[in-house]
Structures are given as C-alpha cells and as structure tokens.
C-alpha cells in the first residue's frame, strides 16, 4: 500500500478549497438574482440584467451619453409591452460597489413610478439583479438645458446653435409646470431638492422635463403653514437655498430658490459656478447678477446671443421674478404656481414683441 506524500495532501486540500469557493460563489450569484421586486410591476417594468446588457450592447462605451459621481448613462434600445415594442431609452447604471446610491435608487423608483406628468421624465423600468442597480428612462433626444446654455460650448461641440428667448422661456415654463405638479399633486407631494439646469431635460419636440429624483423628499412642507422637513442638507452648490443650508429646514420654497437660480442661468447662458473666473463674486452667478442689478449694469449679464430678442418690459418682469425666487425670506418667495403663471405671461409678451 503506497503511502500518501505531503505534496499529494496539499494538492487535495487546495482542490477542496477551490471547489468550496466555486460553490459559494455560485450560491451567492443565485441568491443575488432572487432579489424581490421593488415596486408593483403594473406601475413599473422590472428588467433582467441580460435584457439591459443586450439593450446597451454589453454597456458599449460608444453608447455612453452621460456620467455622474456614482453612475453612467447609456443610450439603448429595449423591448417593452411583453417584448412586442422596441423603445429607445436612457439607461442609468449605478456603481454596484457603492452603497451610497442604493437609497437614492429605491427612492427614485418609488417616487417616479407613482407620478406621471408631461413635464416629468418617465421611468420605464429598473433592474435589481444581484448587486446591479439600473434605471431605465424615456430617452430625451436634446439633452439638458445646461447643454444648450453653456456645457456644449465648453466641451468644444461644433455647430452649437444658441437657444432663442422664446425657446428658453418655453423650457423654463415646462420645468415650472413639472415642479408645480410635484409640489401640489394629490398622489404625493414632493420636494425635488436638486433643481438645476442639468436636471432639466429636453425631448425632440423641445418639451422640458424634470429629472433625477434620487434625493427628493416626499411630504407636504410649505412655508405658508410654517411646516417643514428637518433633514441633512443635500443638493448642488450654487443652487442651494441659504435658509435651508443654515437651518436644515426644507420647504417647497427651497425648490423655488433653486429655480430662481435656473432663471438666471437661462438669461445669462453661463454656469452657476464658473471656475475659470478668478474673481470670487464674478465666479458665483448669483453674486455677480445681484451686484450688476444693484449697480444698474443689467445689460452685462444677458447672454450676447439674446441681444434684441427681449422687450424691455418683459426683461424687467423676468428679473423681478428671478429675484423674488431668491428672496432671503422664504415666505416672500412665490409658489411654483405663481412662477408658472408669470412665465406664461412673459412668453405671450415675447411672442407679441417678435411679431
């Protein structure tokens, strides 16, 4: 009877360990793929990772259309309505290794699956196979408001046609209607908390829609009744409501403040924080605009491509509205319903002027 050498025992032990590790890995994969649905599938489609991978050609870099801190966005084509209809979509894949996006991922599904409006980006479905966190939206062909105002120019894109005054007002009006719906709908009142040019998307017909609900807050907090939501401060620097930043008391008027910044962004055609400018006051859009208005230098802030397109009375009304949105006292700021009505009037004035 031959004796077993130490080398044979070592090989045998290694082989057993490899088999155990392989089986554990298989067991983990199977358990990950059995993740429960996050929402009623009548409200929102649930896609498999295989479907998502096929739709993006295995996440082809050539289909990448956007990138954030914890996600990449791809253009894809996916089958919906029981695989009967092909639909062009935007597919946002969150970093599966990051736990920071998990809460936002679930919140966005729960919020957008229950809210449907012409001026909100539609959530088509999601994928939560294993560790994957993927959101599928309607595809917005013309990108973001920020793209058209300043981002494309800075990225060296060719043939960038500046938006006309009418187009800018139309986009702001659409976004205002979307926010008004969020604040006042009967399903669930929502404070967006991250209103900015990059989160206002535009479709092929130039219809503006609010996007990105990952840090929104559900609940009816209004400054009229002095109710609020106490919460950690989240949002984008430059658009943050100073009152919310200092007190951590979030209200709908915090969205109104951010929308006021968007109004300035739209008129001036520049980013809210311009790192290329050394002067601190000029680098910050709001500080620069307020200083110019105080010194009677309004002409300096208007995007040069808008010269001759804005009637004087309309410009004054627009500036007044933007400044009201940024009022230090939250109860002095208008509601989004009032902002929407004012923009509708401005659009009519602008069309009459052009005629």
Closest CA to 261 of 239, 279, 245: 239
Task: Please say whether the beta carbons of 261 and 326 come within 8 A.
Answer: yes
Residue 190 has which token pair?
A: 């929502």
Q: Decide if 194 is catalytic.
A: yes
Residue 93 has which token pair?
A: 């894949």
Integer Cα distance of 173 and 167 in angstroms: 10
Region of 133 on the Ramachandran plot (φ > 0 left; ψ -120 to 50 alpha; else beta): beta
Q: Where are the alpha helices (DSSP H) in the chain?
A: 6-32, 49-55, 102-112, 145-146, 152-154, 165-184, 242-247, 252-268, 280-283, 285-294, 312-325, 336-354
DSSP string, 66-91: EE-SSEEEEEEEEEETTTTEEEEEEE
The catalytic residue among 71, 129, 147, 194 is 194
Q: Where in the sequence numbering do the catalytic residues fall?
A: 194
């Amino acid at each position: 009877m031959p004796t077993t050498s130490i080398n044979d025992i070592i090989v045998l032990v290694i082989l057993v360990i490899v088999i155990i590790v392989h089986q554990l890995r298989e067991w983990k994969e199977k358990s990950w793929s059995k993740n429960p649905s996050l929402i009623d599938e009548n409200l929102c489609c649930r896609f498999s990772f295989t479907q998502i991978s096929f739709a993006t050609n295995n996440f082809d870099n050539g289909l990448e259309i956007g990138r954030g801190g914890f996600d990449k966005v791809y253009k894809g084509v996916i089958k919906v309505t029981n695989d009967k209809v092909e639909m062009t979509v935007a597919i946002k894949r969150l970093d599966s290794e990051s736990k920071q996006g998990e809460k936002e991922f679930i919140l966005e599904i729960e919020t957008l699956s229950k809210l449907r409006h012409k001026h909100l980006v539609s959530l088509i479905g999601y994928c939560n196979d294993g560790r994957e966190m993927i959101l599928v939206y309607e595809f917005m062909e013309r990108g973001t408001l920020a793209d058209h105002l300043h981002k494309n120019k800075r990225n060296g894109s060719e043939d960038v046609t500046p938006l006309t005054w009418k187009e800018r007002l139309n986009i702001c009006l659409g976004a205002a209607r979307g926010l008004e719906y969020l604040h006042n709908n009967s399903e669930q009142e929502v404070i967006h908390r991250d209103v900015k040019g990059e989160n206002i998307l535009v479709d092929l017909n130039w219809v503006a829609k609010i996007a990105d609900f990952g840090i929104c807050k559900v609940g009816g907090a209004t400054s009229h009744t002095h109710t609020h939501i106490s919460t950690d401060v989240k949002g984008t620097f430059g658009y943050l409501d100073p009152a919310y930043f200092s007190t951590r008391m979030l209200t709908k008027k915090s969205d109104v403040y951010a929308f006021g910044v968007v109004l300035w962004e739209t008129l001036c055609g520049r980013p809210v924080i311009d790192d290329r400018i050394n002067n601190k006051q000029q680098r910050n859009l709001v500080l620069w605009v307020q200083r110019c208005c105080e010194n009677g230098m309004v002409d300096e802030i208007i995007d040069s491509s808008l010269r001759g397109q804005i009637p004087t009375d309309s410009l004054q009304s627009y500036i007044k509205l933007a400044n009201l949105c940024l009022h230090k006292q939250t109860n002095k700021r208008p509601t989004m319903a009032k902002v929407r009505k004012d923009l509708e009037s401005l659009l009519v004035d602008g069309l009459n002027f052009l005629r």
